[in-house]
Amino acid sequence: MARLRSVLPARSAAIVDDYEDHLRDERGLSGHTVRGYVGDVVSLLAFFHGVTDEGESETPPNPPGTSLGGPSQGCEERPGEGVRERLDSLDVGVLRAWLARQHEQGRSRTTLARRAASARTFTAWAYKRGLVASDPGARLASPRPHRRLPGVLRQDEAGELMRVSATGAEDGHPLALRDHALIELLYATGVRISELCGLDIDDVDFERRIVRVLGKGRKQRMVPFGLPAERSLQSWLRRGRPEVATRDSGPALFLGARGRRVDPRTVRRVVHETVAAVPGAVDVGPHGLRHSAATHMLDGGADLRSVQELLGHATLATTQLYTHVTVERLKAIHDQTHPRAR
């Protein structure tokens, strides 16, 4: 995508830079989310300019004589206003043609839905900036993605996962203590992997057993955790972290082998390797532990609103996905046990 971005005309490249700054600085989105949005917009603008995703030229979808190459009349650049290129020919037909090309290239319904959402976010921003006369994304429909049921651990498998993790930490090795603590905290709180990696020591309130989490959109929430997570965190902080901490560690709660803030790739590896030691368990990563925590809370009688708040979901619709898992489980139990199920 970086190569494709480099072949955009200078003014469109500057628009992308402006948009990236907006997503990061004004909306406070995570680096991963910003990269996704920007990558989709680069693909859209490349198509708009007649450049394929491979960086090759083709016939652009916009008609000749548009204001694509420079500022339109009445939209001159003024000091301090930044880029003022007009993109009036970026209409809903271009957006549909771009998505059609993605479909031809074999993109999934989920990817197409995400890219349509990215296009709508971009054109809404461009309209507010005066780069388009109207917002074409407002008229863009997108295919509804297939909502697959997430893979989750059974409660007994989650318990076995914690036992395996605790056994690995019995020798007192610093990184084994860390691994056990982060697995316990992931399952206890259902936090996202980015939220876990961003935790500082003073985000943990041991007296109340609450962790302060900075979630999507830089929204802060407080999430409780239980005694097993508390014990594992205390062991890590007393016996493990001091052994690997360096001058570069700062306040980070979890550290990598070289003493810096732990990397998400390390957390994924730890979770996958530990889950692999649980007989019969489906392969899940950190997000799978989040799914498992939510499902088990609902199985235990938690209401949707409470789970929504704990997980930091912006809408209840996202949390409702977990109810499908619970219902599917109930149906399976009914089919297996009820004398009139079949």
Residue-level pLDDT at 73: 35
Alpha-carbon Rg for the chain, nearest whole angstrom, is 24
Catalytically annotated residue among 139, 173, 216, 261: 216
Higher pLDDT, 331 or 261: 261
Q: Which residue in 333, 332, 321, 322 sits closest to 299, CA to CA?
A: 322
Element at 341 (helix H, strand E): none
Q: Has 239 been annotated as catalytic?
A: no
Is-catalytic flag, 261? Answer: no
Given 209, 287, 324, 329, the catalytic residue: 287
Per-residue model confidence (pLDDT) at position 2: 65
**Range in 14-28, 43-57, 73-87, 187-201 with the lowest mean pLDDT:** 73-87
pLDDT tier, 81 (very low <50, low <70, confident <90, very high otherwise)? very low
Which pLDDT band, with edges at 50, 70 and 90, does 10 fall under? confident
Q: Which residue has the higher pLDDT, 135 or 145?
A: 135
Given a cut of 60, whether residue 79 has pLDDT beyond it is no
Of residues 192, 241, 291, 296, which has the active-site annotation? 192
* pLDDT beyond 50 at 69: no
Identify the burial level of 2 via C-beta atoms within 10 angstroms of its C-beta, where 0-12 means exposed, 13-18 middle and 19 or more buried: exposed
The beta strands (E) that lie in the chain are given as 204-205, 210-214, 220-224
Higher pLDDT, 271 or 67: 271
Residue 330 has pLDDT above 60, yes or no: no
Q: What pLDDT is stored for residue 340 in this prediction?
A: 64
How many H helices and E strands in the chain? 14, 3
331 is catalytic: no
Which listed residue (5, 22, 290, 296) is catalytic?
Answer: 290
Q: How far is CA 222 from the centre of its chain?
A: 19
Query: Span 160-184, mean pLDDT?
Result: 95
Q: Residue written as tokens 């507010």?
A: 128
Catalytic site includes residue 187: no
Q: Which of 5, 115, 120, 313 is catalytic?
A: 313
Stronger pLDDT, 323 or 244, i.e. the higher one? 244
pLDDT of residue 111: 86
Round to whole Å and give the CA distance between 281 and 183: 15
Burial class (CB in 10 A: 0-12, 13-18, 19+), 71: middle
- Based on the residue annotation, tell me whether 313 is a catalytic residue of this protein: yes
pLDDT given for residue 63 in this prediction: 43
Active site residue 128: no
- Closest by Cα among 193, 181, 256 to 225: 181
Per-residue pLDDT, averaged over 208-230, amounts to 89
Q: How confident is residue 164, by pLDDT bands cut at 50, 70 and 90? A: very high
**What is the pLDDT, as a whole number, of residue 12?**
87
Contact call for residues 49 and 68 (beta carbons, < 8 A): yes
pLDDT above 60: residue 151: yes
The pLDDT of 281-299, averaged and rounded, is: 89
Per-residue burial over 41-68, b if 16 or more Cβ lie within 10 Å, else e, is bbbbbbbbbebeeeeeeeebbbeeeeeb
Say what the pLDDT of residue 326 is: 65
Tell me which amino acid residue 23 is.
L
Q: How far apart are CA 242 and CA 197, in angstroms?
A: 18
Q: Of 67-71, 82-86, 185-189, 322-326, where does the model show the most confidence?
A: 185-189
Helices 155-168 and 264-276 pack at an angle, to 10 degrees, of: 110
The answer to whether residue 217 scores a pLDDT higher than 90 is no
Compare 166 and 306 and report the one with higher pLDDT.
Answer: 166
- Model confidence at 253: pLDDT above 90: yes
Q: What is the pLDDT of residues 188-199, one digit of tens each?
A: 999 999 999 999
Closest CA to 122 of 136, 111, 139: 136
Contacts of 127 (CB under 8 A, 6+ apart): 134, 135
